[in-house]
Amino acid sequence: MIIRASLATASMLGLKNLRMDAKMTTLYFLIDGICRGNCLYCHQKNGYLARIKWPQYEFKEVKKRIGLAKAKRICIQSLYGYEDILLHFVKELKEFNIPISVSINAVDEKKMKHLKENGVERVGIGLDCFSPEIFEKWKKGVPSWNEYMNALKNAKKIFGKATCHLIAGLGESDEDAIKLMKKIAEMGIKIALFPYSKESKTVISLPRYRVLQIASYIIENRSGKILLDNGKIVEVEVSSFSKKAFLTSGCPDCNRPFYNEGVRKIYNYPYEINEEQMKKALEEANNYARVYITSEC
């Protein structure tokens, strides 16, 4: 069988010879095929997710190398309508005793239970959009907004933990983003924030994205205030702040290096940052809204 791997994963497995500017902690795989959905921001049909190329490999060759990679997690990106094939790969990979995450569309409770029973540790669900209106504009040929929200509830119930993937830069207002992130956090679900990439370029401005990262941190950690004016964030006050706000968010040990950006303008840092880098990120945020930090942790 054929499976796709991100270029960095292929390098980690010795299938490609690439220079990496950040150490990978997760192996990323993609089901081969054509997704039955037709989300307008997605280029999977061209062999890409975000700005990353996913070459095809024989699964038996990939499997031989996984034990040598010393990965902390395996993440399988599924396609809508390919749940049986996803389950096959999960069964094949669970022997490595590495935590397995799967990134899926809204599927029913029965299919989620099958994933759990066969070794999946947690799921990430690609809601992607911050409001029903944005969802209707961008996500085509997939289950409805309400079905996605219900799938998130089921994921939390079945796995005990779940992640919601959200893409910033699809036309949402800051108010849309804050409202949904609060709802997701109240459900006990982890927020995984992505900047929108189009044709290898990251579309959302870096200053706005920095403020949304801080807002997500405040919401998940209940550690501050967010002030809006006419739907735009104008001020954030953080009572207990960490550098982790600017790192890749999502499942444990997921750092997906340069998935949405190039190395010269980093949106989600795939490694721990130093004081100088944090200061720079805060300065970037201040170009969009006033940022006040009362203490650091």
Could you tell me which of 193, 109, 177 has the C-alpha nearest to residue 147? 109
Place of tokens 């920095």: 210
**Cβ(197)–Cβ(260) under 8 Å?**
yes
Mark the ranges of the chain whose per-residue pLDDT is less than 50: none
Task: State residue 48's pLDDT score.
Answer: 83
Q: What is the DSSP string of 80-115?
A: TT-HHHHHHHHHHHGGG---EEEEE----HHHHHHH
Q: How far is residue 165's CA from residue 193's CA, in Å, rounded to a whole number? A: 6
CATH 3.20.20.70 matches 2-293: yes
DSSP class of 207: H
Helices (H) and strands (E) in the chain, counts: 9, 15
Q: How far is residue 46's CA from residue 54's CA, in Å, rounded to a whole number? A: 9
Task: State residue 22's pLDDT score.
Answer: 81
Query: pTM, whole model, 2 decimals?
Result: 0.95
Place of tokens 């096959």: 88
Task: State residue 297's pLDDT score.
Answer: 65
**Cβ(180)–Cβ(211) under 8 Å?**
no
Q: Coil, strand or helix: which one is 52?
A: strand
